[in-house]
A and B are shown apart, each in its own frame.
Chain A
Amino acid sequence: MKRSGFIEELHECQEKEEKNYLSKKNIMEAAQHHQVPPARAYGVATFYTMFSVQPRGKHIIRICRNLSCHLAGAEEIVKKLRETLGIDFGQTTEDGEFTLEESSCLGMCSLSPAMMIDDVPYGNLTPAKIPEILEQIRRRENRNE
């Protein structure tokens, strides 16, 4: 039954990495732990959208563009996010703070358009709220440092 926790272990590895990703070393160690061949381990790490094998920012922004959010104007939010962050999907801001990603439906349809930043859901978004939300996270970070 040891194998059962392989994906859980990948989650845990990724959460510990400052850069929110699975390094080659992470994958190989987890693979050895669970006696999974390296090729299969890499196949798993690249199958799931929550895992990344490339370094990412401190915070992952996941924005939904599926039906309910689409109807509520998700494209406007996407545009504003790209503009404010100066990056496209799959990219990380120069200061290493944010990575922008697309996500399939986040189950926040009654609050659409919606996104998550790390574990925190944000709903009823408008383009005007975007700079404010990002600024808040940056400020919190500075305070903690």
Chain B
Amino acid sequence: MFLHILNYVFTEHTFGIIILLQGEKMMEDRIIFHIDANSAFLSWSAVNALQHGAPVDFREVPSIVGGNQATRHGIVLAKSIPAKKYGIQTGEPIIQARQKCPSLLVIPPEYYVYMRCNAAMCDIVKDFSDRIQVFSIDEVFVDYTGMEKILGDAQAVAHQIKDRIKNELGFTVSVGISSNKLLAKMASDLKKPDAVTTLYRDEIEEKMWVLPVRDLYMVGAATEKKLAKMGIYSIGDLANSEVEFLKDKLMSWGEVIWCFANGIEDSPVKPGGAIPYVKGVGNSCTIHFDVEDRETAHKVLLSLVETVGMRLRQGAFCAKLVQVSVKTSELKTYSHQRKFYVPTDCTNAIFEEACRLFDEVWKGEPIRHLGVRVSELCGNDFVQLSLLENNYEKQRQVDRAVDDIRIKFGSFSVFRAGFLHSRLSPLQGGIVEDFPAMTSIL
């Protein structure tokens, strides 16, 4: 609209100056929204069902969205508020959840509904800014900087967005407002459902520092434990620690989380973001002999994960959910899945989890076919800044180097030593599920 034209003129004529100004202004003066759909999968399925005449609103009864009831190892992907009252948790096995609440309603995932809801949510948001980044299927970042001169106060507009989504699309969102993406994301988490919360730099102390350190985005169980040993329990404790001390204990990861605790983060809102259009990356293979030992099975998993990891990284995604599926020589199939607390794109991290899942589910029968699949994708924006728990940082560098070599010299130019003299292929081709047109991007 009006602003686009204006922007263009400016950059045409005073390009250098604008860049300079923005560089200086960037950190403090931006206005960023993070819009997060509340219990997205569950409420989206609920609204869709109501629209098609369902007699109950899933949001008002104990209900969960859970992967595939046929395979008994499905886990809870999302839960209603009444289900939460039974102590049901996201990520726990469905059987366990059913024990807590026998009348539990289990709704299968409906990805086409989720994608439609995501697109509809973005359509509304686009009326308020042209700079939006789809971060995951239920999260959008919006750069509202400059728009306040045309559309008005950020908080009032955030309320408008939230209310329009509620009235037109039938589900609620939480909106966080701040001067960077990380704080906006933390803010949307502070109050839900159906809320607008600000978390500007001068509000950090009062609103964020009081929270346990585990609530800081990207801090998982392993980091939490290490921090506890240093006497750091709250986000405030972390923010007020000596950064040199943290670097000494946790290397560069220490500095990253110290910055986060102090609200320092300056990644731009990247328009586009193809995340919701790909629901997952999967890879599976039929093995030309029956696998009867754990070690060989793990090797096959590694060959599958190698490609999955590479595809994830090429798409600039991280995954929150891993699933392993096994088909025995008698064609019995079962699968097992688990959620990562912190999203990852690291081959070794996915591989370790895949092995753990395999070990838990395999009963020792000869195996004919194995599959690994990651889903619940989100952007890798915060991960990229450095990474991760368990010193995955080095492994990430290795991942990147290996990816580069393979892209340049071919898939088989470098492979893990474990595959030398084995009957197995060191990596198996990856498939991007459901949306073949996307393979060119991934």
Asked if A and B are interacting partners, one says no
| A interface residues (Cβ-Cβ under 8 A, vs B) | none
